[in-house]
Amino acid sequence: MKTLEERDASVIWHPYSQHGLKYPILPVVSAQGAYLYLEDGRKILDGISSWWVNLHGHAHPRIARAIAAQCEKMEHVIFAGFTHEPAVKLAETIMGGTHFARAFYSDNGSTAVEVALKIAYQYHLNRGDTKRQKFLALRHSYHGDTLGAMAVGEPDGYHAHFRSLLPRVDFVEPCDLGALKDLGSYAAFIFEPMVQGAGGMRMYPASYLREAIGMCRSHGVLTIGDEVFTGFFRTGTCFAYEYLGIAPDLLCLSKGITGGFLPLAMTLATESIFEVFCSQDMRQAFLHGHSYTANPVACAAALESWSILHSEECQARLTVIQAITRERIKRFKKARCIGTIGAVEMQGEHRSYLNAPPALLARQALARGVLLRPLGDVIYTVPPYCVTDQELHLIYDVIEEMLYSIGVGG
């Protein structure tokens, strides 16, 4: 009988993988808390929250119960012309206390960004402004893998093959306010606040974004905060834009929104943006949607995750994780942290995401029982919030071992 890995090899095409390199695929049979349990009996500490989605640990019982209860009531319903309690309550809950007034649901981070870009572009057209044919974005950014999201990502990064297909975007270096010129031709400025995730966990000051948003506002350019990664306390505050003292016009949320259980995304907008789409003319409407828009089961999971996030227990745990992260990160050269995110540059020979060494280092970490996935020359961790002190120290011990193994030390 074939093993699960052998069966996988004959039928599956994995994401961000070069199958020609024939790296082993690890069969996971169950997951609980901070651990993945493999078919061969090993357990792996999930140091990256399974691509940053798992906030509270795998198979969290409260979220599992919320999903089961919702499944017994209603699994899904068309969201055009209909509504339901989980979607309305989730929008009320997340937008409560913010300046956002409308939530548009979709399925993942890329679609949340696509929605925001299309809203921004059509917003100007609906107002009769046809001059705004471009977007503005930051170098080293990543916003997703669909066409619009790829367009506003790093032009020399993951999406180089598709550059000729993409909309017009100008890129500026983070912190370069002098590059923000002739803003009248831009529909929107999109950014990952405080931390550029897939670009290498690059961190930059709130002061830059605060001034950049102000400059965009003064020239009628909408601002889009991509918090697909940074949202839900990853940076220490619930949303990273809170560091700025000023909010963007549109906000993209996904990844951790359901605690890692189900796909869901939201694009939040202000009331003034929404009103520009309201008229008696259907052509002024935002004609966009997804089959599983506002899936009730996913919304129920997100509501329970939000409740757990704001519990005293979780907030206390976040405080400890941040303290350990700050303590451990001091031991490394060229290291940085914010909230629960810790990142260290390997400093030696340049390593690209497209080269083999990061994958080899990931295998080295797995041999020590820890899941880490370096981004080019950056080793990072974004652990689930259920991680214990001992487990978090183990993650940083393994990072230290990885650095010494390639001759760059701590």
Could you list the active site residues? 16, 142, 226, 255
Token duo for residue 106? 């979709």
- Residues facing residue 138 across a β-bridge: 172
352 and 154 Cβ atoms separated by less than 8 Å = no
User: Left if phi > 0, otherwise alpha if psi is -120 to 50, otherwise beta: which for 378?
Assistant: beta
Residue with tokens 């704001």: 310
Packed helices 357-367 and 389-405: angle between N→C axes, nearest 10 degrees: 140
202 and 196 Cβ atoms separated by less than 8 Å = yes
Nearest to 298, CA basis, from 266, 269, 267: 266
Token duo for residue 142? 């990543």
- Residue 104's identity, in one-letter code, is F
47 and 370 Cβ atoms separated by less than 8 Å = yes
Tell me the three state secondary structure of residue 368: coil
- Residue 54 has a CB neighbour count (10 Å cut-off) of 27
- Going by C-beta distance under 8 Å and a sequence separation of 6 or more, which residues neighbour residue 2? none
148 and 117 Cβ atoms separated by less than 8 Å = yes
Neighbour-count burial of 155, counting CB atoms closer than 10 A to its CB (0-12 exposed, 13-18 middle, 19+ buried): middle
DSSP for 302-314, please give it.
Answer: HHHHHHHHTSHHH
Cα separation of 306 and 318, whole Å?
14
344 and 378 Cβ atoms separated by less than 8 Å = yes
Residue 154: what are its φ and ψ, rounded to 5°? -45, 120
List alpha helices for 292-341, DSSP H. 296-309, 312-329
Please say whether the dihedral angle defined by the alpha carbons of residues 13, 151, 201 and 34, taken in this order, is positive or negative.
negative
